[in-house]
Structure 1
Amino acid sequence: MTIKNELKRVCVKPFDKDKFEVVSDYTFILPSFNGIVPKGFITDGASIPRIFWSFFPPYRSEYFSACVIHDYLCEKANSRKDYKLADLALKEAMQELKCPKIKCFVFYHACNTFHFLKCFIRG
Protein backbone atom coordinates (compact mmCIF):
# COMPACT_ATOMS: atom_id res chain seq x y z
CA MET A 1 0.00 0.00 0.00
CA THR A 2 1.43 3.39 -1.01
CA ILE A 3 0.68 6.53 0.90
CA LYS A 4 0.17 9.61 -1.23
CA ASN A 5 1.41 12.86 0.23
CA GLU A 6 -1.05 15.69 -0.09
CA LEU A 7 0.28 19.16 -0.66
CA LYS A 8 -0.92 21.26 2.24
CA ARG A 9 -1.85 24.92 1.92
CA VAL A 10 0.66 27.54 2.96
CA CYS A 11 -0.22 29.83 5.88
CA VAL A 12 0.50 33.52 5.27
CA LYS A 13 -0.32 36.91 6.75
CA PRO A 14 -0.49 40.31 5.05
CA PHE A 15 2.91 41.98 4.92
CA ASP A 16 2.52 45.00 2.66
CA LYS A 17 0.12 46.32 0.04
CA ASP A 18 0.38 43.34 -2.34
CA LYS A 19 2.66 41.04 -0.38
CA PHE A 20 2.31 38.23 2.15
CA GLU A 21 4.63 36.71 4.74
CA VAL A 22 4.86 32.96 5.33
CA VAL A 23 3.83 32.40 8.97
CA SER A 24 5.64 29.08 9.60
CA ASP A 25 8.05 26.87 7.68
CA TYR A 26 6.15 25.42 4.72
CA THR A 27 7.31 21.92 3.80
CA PHE A 28 6.35 20.64 0.37
CA ILE A 29 6.79 17.26 -1.28
CA LEU A 30 6.36 17.08 -5.04
CA PRO A 31 7.08 14.29 -7.54
CA SER A 32 10.33 15.94 -8.75
CA PHE A 33 11.32 18.16 -5.84
CA ASN A 34 11.01 18.50 -2.06
CA GLY A 35 11.83 21.50 0.06
CA ILE A 36 10.93 24.05 2.69
CA VAL A 37 9.84 27.64 2.24
CA PRO A 38 11.11 29.28 5.44
CA LYS A 39 9.02 31.24 7.90
CA GLY A 40 9.28 34.94 7.08
CA PHE A 41 9.56 34.50 3.29
CA ILE A 42 7.77 37.35 1.48
CA THR A 43 5.70 36.57 -1.62
CA ASP A 44 3.44 38.46 -3.99
CA GLY A 45 1.46 35.39 -5.03
CA ALA A 46 1.12 34.89 -8.76
CA SER A 47 2.96 37.60 -10.70
CA ILE A 48 0.24 38.06 -13.27
CA PRO A 49 -0.13 41.24 -15.36
CA ARG A 50 -3.12 43.20 -14.08
CA ILE A 51 -4.93 42.94 -17.42
CA PHE A 52 -5.36 39.17 -16.79
CA TRP A 53 -6.48 39.42 -13.13
CA SER A 54 -10.14 38.83 -13.99
CA PHE A 55 -9.14 35.41 -15.40
CA PHE A 56 -6.28 34.57 -13.02
CA PRO A 57 -6.41 36.54 -9.73
CA PRO A 58 -2.90 36.64 -8.19
CA TYR A 59 -4.06 35.63 -4.69
CA ARG A 60 -6.49 32.84 -5.55
CA SER A 61 -6.26 30.10 -2.93
CA GLU A 62 -6.66 27.47 -5.65
CA TYR A 63 -3.02 27.95 -6.72
CA PHE A 64 -1.55 30.37 -4.14
CA SER A 65 0.53 27.69 -2.38
CA ALA A 66 2.06 26.66 -5.71
CA CYS A 67 2.95 30.29 -6.39
CA VAL A 68 4.67 30.63 -3.00
CA ILE A 69 6.84 27.59 -3.79
CA HIS A 70 7.61 29.02 -7.24
CA ASP A 71 8.47 32.47 -5.86
CA TYR A 72 10.83 30.96 -3.30
CA LEU A 73 12.61 28.76 -5.84
CA CYS A 74 12.89 31.66 -8.31
CA GLU A 75 14.42 33.86 -5.62
CA LYS A 76 17.11 31.20 -5.10
CA ALA A 77 17.64 30.56 -8.84
CA ASN A 78 21.03 31.33 -10.38
CA SER A 79 20.71 29.67 -13.78
CA ARG A 80 18.29 28.62 -16.49
CA LYS A 81 18.36 25.12 -14.98
CA ASP A 82 17.23 26.50 -11.59
CA TYR A 83 14.36 28.41 -13.23
CA LYS A 84 13.31 25.27 -15.11
CA LEU A 85 13.16 23.41 -11.79
CA ALA A 86 11.10 26.24 -10.26
CA ASP A 87 8.68 26.17 -13.20
CA LEU A 88 8.36 22.38 -12.97
CA ALA A 89 7.69 22.69 -9.22
CA LEU A 90 4.94 25.24 -9.99
CA LYS A 91 3.31 22.87 -12.46
CA GLU A 92 3.54 19.86 -10.14
CA ALA A 93 2.25 21.85 -7.15
CA MET A 94 -0.71 23.09 -9.16
CA GLN A 95 -1.45 19.52 -10.23
CA GLU A 96 -1.21 18.33 -6.61
CA LEU A 97 -3.63 21.12 -5.63
CA LYS A 98 -6.05 19.79 -8.28
CA CYS A 99 -5.99 22.95 -10.42
CA PRO A 100 -7.63 22.57 -13.83
CA LYS A 101 -5.24 21.27 -16.50
CA ILE A 102 -5.62 24.40 -18.62
CA LYS A 103 -4.46 26.60 -15.70
CA CYS A 104 -1.48 24.34 -15.07
CA PHE A 105 -0.62 24.56 -18.77
CA VAL A 106 -0.99 28.36 -18.95
CA PHE A 107 0.95 29.08 -15.74
CA TYR A 108 3.76 26.65 -16.54
CA HIS A 109 4.29 27.83 -20.10
CA ALA A 110 3.96 31.52 -19.25
CA CYS A 111 6.61 31.20 -16.52
CA ASN A 112 8.85 28.99 -18.62
CA THR A 113 8.73 31.41 -21.56
CA PHE A 114 9.37 34.41 -19.29
CA HIS A 115 12.37 32.70 -17.67
CA PHE A 116 13.76 31.61 -21.04
CA LEU A 117 13.61 35.20 -22.28
CA LYS A 118 15.00 36.57 -19.00
CA CYS A 119 18.00 34.23 -19.17
CA PHE A 120 18.48 34.83 -22.90
CA ILE A 121 18.54 38.62 -22.45
CA ARG A 122 20.88 38.41 -19.45
CA GLY A 123 23.21 36.13 -21.36
Structure 2
Amino acid sequence: MKTELKRVCVKPYDKDRFEVVLDYVFVLPSFKGLIPKGFKTDGASIPRFFWSLFPPYKSEYFSACVIHDYLCEKANSRKDYKLADLALKEAMLLLGCSKFKSFVFYHACNTFHFLKCIFKSITRS
Protein backbone atom coordinates (compact mmCIF):
# COMPACT_ATOMS: atom_id res chain seq x y z
CA MET A 1 0.00 0.00 0.00
CA LYS A 2 1.46 3.34 -1.06
CA THR A 3 1.41 6.15 1.48
CA GLU A 4 0.00 9.50 0.40
CA LEU A 5 0.78 12.91 1.79
CA LYS A 6 -2.06 15.38 2.15
CA ARG A 7 -1.58 18.94 0.92
CA VAL A 8 -1.14 21.78 3.38
CA CYS A 9 -3.84 24.47 3.50
CA VAL A 10 -2.45 28.03 3.42
CA LYS A 11 -3.54 31.59 2.78
CA PRO A 12 -1.48 34.55 1.57
CA TYR A 13 0.02 36.36 4.52
CA ASP A 14 2.35 38.96 3.06
CA LYS A 15 4.30 39.48 -0.15
CA ASP A 16 5.76 36.06 -0.97
CA ARG A 17 4.65 34.55 2.38
CA PHE A 18 1.87 32.19 3.39
CA GLU A 19 0.20 31.20 6.65
CA VAL A 20 -0.96 27.68 7.50
CA VAL A 21 -4.72 27.93 8.18
CA LEU A 22 -5.35 24.43 9.59
CA ASP A 23 -3.08 22.27 11.73
CA TYR A 24 -1.15 20.14 9.25
CA VAL A 25 -0.35 16.57 10.26
CA PHE A 26 2.21 14.80 8.10
CA VAL A 27 3.49 11.24 8.12
CA LEU A 28 6.68 10.38 6.23
CA PRO A 29 8.64 7.12 6.13
CA SER A 30 11.19 8.36 8.68
CA PHE A 31 9.37 11.17 10.45
CA LYS A 32 5.93 12.41 11.45
CA GLY A 33 4.81 15.67 12.93
CA LEU A 34 2.34 18.51 13.17
CA ILE A 35 2.68 22.03 11.84
CA PRO A 36 0.41 24.31 13.86
CA LYS A 37 -2.12 26.67 12.39
CA GLY A 38 -0.52 30.10 12.07
CA PHE A 39 2.93 28.92 10.96
CA LYS A 40 4.33 31.26 8.30
CA THR A 41 6.39 30.12 5.31
CA ASP A 42 7.89 31.46 2.10
CA GLY A 43 7.56 28.15 0.26
CA ALA A 44 10.74 27.00 -1.43
CA SER A 45 13.64 29.32 -0.62
CA ILE A 46 15.06 29.18 -4.11
CA PRO A 47 17.36 31.91 -5.46
CA ARG A 48 15.37 34.09 -7.86
CA PHE A 49 17.75 33.16 -10.68
CA PHE A 50 16.31 29.61 -10.63
CA TRP A 51 12.60 30.54 -10.35
CA SER A 52 11.96 29.79 -14.03
CA LEU A 53 13.07 26.19 -13.42
CA PHE A 54 11.74 25.73 -9.87
CA PRO A 55 9.02 28.25 -8.92
CA PRO A 56 9.00 28.68 -5.12
CA TYR A 57 5.21 28.29 -4.78
CA LYS A 58 4.62 25.38 -7.16
CA SER A 59 1.86 23.17 -5.74
CA GLU A 60 3.77 20.06 -6.86
CA TYR A 61 6.21 20.43 -3.94
CA PHE A 62 4.82 23.31 -1.84
CA SER A 63 3.64 21.07 1.02
CA ALA A 64 7.09 19.48 1.21
CA CYS A 65 8.64 22.94 1.42
CA VAL A 66 6.33 23.93 4.28
CA ILE A 67 7.38 20.81 6.21
CA HIS A 68 11.02 21.63 5.51
CA ASP A 69 10.64 25.28 6.57
CA TYR A 70 8.97 24.25 9.82
CA LEU A 71 11.63 21.68 10.67
CA CYS A 72 14.43 24.10 9.78
CA GLU A 73 12.90 26.77 12.02
CA LYS A 74 13.02 24.28 14.90
CA ALA A 75 16.53 23.00 14.05
CA ASN A 76 19.32 23.49 16.58
CA SER A 77 22.03 21.25 15.15
CA ARG A 78 23.44 19.74 11.97
CA LYS A 79 21.53 16.55 12.83
CA ASP A 80 18.24 18.51 12.94
CA TYR A 81 18.95 20.06 9.54
CA LYS A 82 19.77 16.61 8.11
CA LEU A 83 16.38 15.38 9.35
CA ALA A 84 14.65 18.40 7.79
CA ASP A 85 16.39 17.80 4.46
CA LEU A 86 15.49 14.10 4.52
CA ALA A 87 11.87 15.03 5.32
CA LEU A 88 11.87 17.36 2.30
CA LYS A 89 13.06 14.57 0.00
CA GLU A 90 10.61 12.02 1.38
CA ALA A 91 7.69 14.46 1.20
CA MET A 92 8.52 15.43 -2.39
CA LEU A 93 8.58 11.78 -3.43
CA LEU A 94 5.25 11.10 -1.67
CA LEU A 95 3.75 14.10 -3.46
CA GLY A 96 4.74 12.59 -6.80
CA CYS A 97 7.77 14.74 -7.64
CA SER A 98 10.35 13.14 -9.88
CA LYS A 99 13.34 11.44 -8.32
CA PHE A 100 15.57 13.92 -10.15
CA LYS A 101 13.78 16.98 -8.75
CA SER A 102 13.74 15.47 -5.26
CA PHE A 103 17.47 14.74 -5.58
CA VAL A 104 18.23 18.33 -6.65
CA PHE A 105 16.20 19.91 -3.83
CA TYR A 106 17.59 17.54 -1.21
CA HIS A 107 21.23 18.05 -2.15
CA ALA A 108 20.87 21.81 -2.58
CA CYS A 109 19.39 22.13 0.92
CA ASN A 110 21.82 19.64 2.43
CA THR A 111 24.82 21.48 0.98
CA PHE A 112 23.46 24.85 2.15
CA HIS A 113 22.88 23.55 5.68
CA PHE A 114 26.31 21.92 5.79
CA LEU A 115 27.95 25.24 4.85
CA LYS A 116 25.70 27.18 7.23
CA CYS A 117 26.72 24.94 10.15
CA ILE A 118 30.41 25.24 9.28
CA PHE A 119 30.11 29.03 9.05
CA LYS A 120 28.31 29.17 12.40
CA SER A 121 31.00 27.10 14.08
CA ILE A 122 33.74 29.35 12.62
CA THR A 123 32.04 32.57 13.72
CA ARG A 124 31.53 31.23 17.27
CA SER A 125 35.29 30.64 17.69
**Band the TM-score falls in, shorter-chain normalisation:** over 0.9
Instruction: Give the corresponding residue for 1:92.
Output: 90
Query: So what's the TM-score if we normalise by structure 1?
Result: 0.97
Over the matched positions of the two proteins, sequence identity in percent amounts to 80
User: Which AA in structure 1 matches 2:80?
Assistant: D
Instruction: Give the corresponding residue for 2:66.
Output: 68
Distance 2:3 2:34 in 1: 15
User: Which AA in structure 1 matches 2:5?
Assistant: L
- Which of 95, 98, 117 is the matching residue for 1:119? 117
Distance 2:2 2:99 in 1: 20
Tell me how large the CA RMSD over aligned residues is: 0.7
Of 88-97 and 3-12, deviating more is 3-12
Query: So what's the TM-score if we normalise by structure 2?
Result: 0.95
User: 1:60 aligns to what SS in structure 2?
Assistant: coil
- Say if 2:31 is the partner of 1:33: yes
Which digits, 9 at most, give the CA deviation of each residue in 1:66-117, with x for residues without a partner?
0000000000000000000000000000000010111101000000000000
The count of residues paired between Structure 1 and Structure 2 equals 121
Instruction: Give the corresponding residue for 2:13.
Output: 15
